[in-house]
Amino acid sequence: MSLISEEDQAVLKEVFSKRLQNHVTLAVFTKKENCEYCNELVELAKEVTSLDQRLSYEVYDFYENPEKAKEYNVEMAPALGFSDGTKYNFHFYGIPAGYEFNAFIDDIIDVSRNSTRLAPSTINKLKTIEQDVKIQVFVTPSCPYCPRAVRIAHQFSMVNPRIRSDMIEALEFEELANEYGVMSVPHIVINGSYVFIGAVPEAQFLNYLFEALEGKETQGPIEGGEVSGL
């Protein structure tokens, strides 16, 4: 049984035919043990890439292909990376299902067009960043607000590869979510110690990013926007 309905496949075919430009490769990283959704992630990549000749996918075992994991800067599995020849520094950890599916499709389109939908002022400020930064966005598939946070973070990475941004499905990576005290989503962690909760506007997300780069740490998570429970 297909993960994507025939109706949705028809819609996606039309969207891809109008909006895709350059070829995009999806890199799927799996593992043999303790990976409930690995097969589904491979199937999702297969179904999506079958809808347009400008899309393709590759599958790697995370532990058996460390060189590929390093190329895509992937740290765990299951994971999904993107390339148009350039390996982008943003990822989906866990299957982009539910509300996250739209974020996944938008990422494909942006990579294909080598463009983002960020404000010019945001882009200019992101380009000034000269140090590595890591953004982790914890989500669940049932959270309607999470894709907004994921998309902003991923677009930040497209503008400046020093910014690494990861969507992390909190239920699939429960141990990591517990480590960061994730109780509601989106739960965003910047450089391990600056934390805010909720889907916030692009400009506010950018401000939080620069506060983190200045070395500020939050004693508890900043409650900044709309959230869903786990």
Count Cβ atoms below 10 Å from residue 39 Cβ, excluding itself: 12
Q: What is the mean pLDDT of residues 160-177?
A: 98
Return the closest-CA partner of residue 190 out of 115, 118, 143, 135: 135
Lookup: tokens for 157: 């990475």
**pLDDT, position 198:** 96
Q: What is the mean pLDDT of residues 170-191?
A: 97
Q: For residue 227, what pLDDT band results from cuts at 50, 70 and 90?
A: confident
Q: For residue 218, what pLDDT band results from cuts at 50, 70 and 90?
A: confident
**pLDDT, position 216:** 87
**pLDDT, position 43:** 98
- Give dist(CA 80, CA 224) in Å, integer: 28
CATH 3.40.30.10, applies to 116-214: yes
In whole numbers, what is the pLDDT of the chain averaged over residues?
Answer: 96
Q: What is the mean pLDDT of residues 167-189?
A: 97
**pLDDT, position 219:** 75
Residue-wise pLDDT tens digits, 39-59:
999 999 999 999 999 999 999
- Give dist(CA 140, CA 217) in Å, integer: 25
Q: Report whether pLDDT(226) > 90.
A: no
216 vs 133: which has the higher pLDDT: 133
Architecture of domain 1-114: 3-Layer(aba) Sandwich (3.40)
What secondary structure letter does DSSP report for 86?
Answer: S
Q: For the chain, what are the domain ranges? A: 1-114, 116-214
**pLDDT, position 217:** 86
Return the closest-CA partner of residue 20 out of 61, 59, 48: 48
Q: What is the mean pLDDT of residues 188-214?
A: 97
Neighbouring C-alpha atoms within 13 Å toward the C-beta of 133: 27
Q: For residue 149, what pLDDT band results from cuts at 50, 70 and 90?
A: very high
Q: CATH topology of 1-114 equal to that of 116-214?
A: yes
